[in-house]
Structure 1
């Protein structure tokens, strides 16, 4: 897995319980997603040039420990599978100081033709670039 995100928990991201609200876990994992996409060639330039996009069609998040204001975070990410039109992604979020696992999320993301609004196959070059990012379980 590779590092795809670094950031901090800000006080405005806390909920009434005093820890980072679930919406911010999702946002940080989303930012990690875009870095992972870019590494396989799914860049903003690619999306503009070919009128393509990506959409999460399923997401499962598990929370393991609290993130508090001031905590430094990082995410590690990898692909668990590649299909004709979909990527299967795993992100892990850690406290950078303690190295404690805070949360994981698994996503299924579809490659979209933005004109037809339907999933479409990845180009062969994208699939080839993605193979080294597959996680060996």
Structure 2
């Protein structure tokens, strides 16, 4: 019952964003590779446990250019899903926990006991740091429609085309691609609030995500045209939440949903700051939930 070393990596300068730290899409790409390696090591596959329902990521500390990365993975049966794969991403030099990912599966209830036995050498207990905090554990609503979101006030923030370079080894657009579409468009969500580009620049602040949950509904393949439509789902003292919906443009088919908890960071102090009072009022008026 030990953690499996599933990734050894490094933060490249070109993977860092305007906040001078590793962009979230590359955390997801690291988790993808760690998951492939873990599946090979332990024999986990969709025939046994079904398709992954969600990937729930929490960000605990920053990784910056030149930092070493390690990921260790295991299976937990005491997590928020019937079977939960935990990935712990750490700074390879200091051992500090930088991010965690929970991959949620819901195999047949009658198979849990044999699965426990089958994967007994790869099991650990849930760690508190990985548990969902600001986003529910379950998959997002797969019946959401584009017209319904527009009626609630959500807005399109991104349009794009799936290219061959965006595909995973299964021939479908991967997690990194979904994240890249949302991170390219998210500034337009912030721009709807008092925390505009001008406000952030003037105060030396940055946009930061602290928790994310990705739910795939249907696949995207090379050549598909897609869009992202987004809206706000909540607001607190220092954080607010939003939901990005990816749709295939020709048929308005829901592809994936990305729930996000975000905050404003002082780029000099590298710490969170409280949202301005007017942001609470503005966001509360635009909630789509």
TM-score by length of 1: 0.91
Could you tell me how far apart the structure 2 residues matched to 1:34 and 1:53 are?
A: 10
Structure 1 ranges of 4+ moved more than 3 A: none
What SS is found at the alignment partner of 1:87? Answer: strand
| Structure 2: tracts of 5 or more residues without a match | 1-153
The corresponding residue for 2:159 is 6
Q: How much has 1:41 moved relative to structure 2?
A: 3.2
| 1:128 to 2:274 alignment | no
CA contact (8 A) 1:5 1:32 kept: yes
Distance 1:91 1:101 in 2: 11
> For 1:36-82, what per-residue CA distance to the aligned partner results, in whole angstroms no more than 9, with x for missing partners?
01111333322221111121111100011111111111111111101
Over residues 18-40 of structure 1, what are the superposed CA-to-partner deviations in whole Å (9 max), with x where a residue is unaligned? Answer: 11121110111112321101111
In the TM superposition, residue 115 of structure 1 has moved relative to its aligned partner by 2.0
Correspondence 1:109 to 2:283: no
Q: Which residue of 2 aligns with 1:76?
A: 229
Of 60, 64, 68 in structure 1, the residue corresponding to residue 213 of structure 2 is: 60
Q: Greater share of strand residues, 1 or 2?
A: 1
1:2: how far off? 1.5
The corresponding residue for 2:249 is 96
Cα contact 1:32–1:77 (8 A) shared by 2: no
Q: Measure how far apart 1:86 and its partner are.
A: 0.5
Equivalent residue runs for 1:37-56 within 5 Å: 37-56=190-209
| Distance (whole Å) between structure 2 residues aligned to residue 9 and residue 48 of structure 1 | 32
Whether the 8 Å CA contact 2:207–2:265 is kept in 1: the answer is yes
Kept in 2, the 8 Å contact 1:85–1:121? The answer is yes
Pick from 108, 118, 121 the counterpart of residue 271 of structure 2: 118
Q: Distance in 2 between matches of 1:130 and 1:28?
A: 22
With CA pairs under 8 Å and 6+ residues apart, which has the higher RCO, 1 or 2? 1
| 8 Å contact from structure 2 (residues 234, 283) kept in 1 | no
Larger radius of gyration between Structure 1 and Structure 2: 2
The alpha carbon displacement at 1:124 in A equals 2.1
| Distance of 1:71 and 1:120 partners within structure 2 | 39
Aligned residues: 136
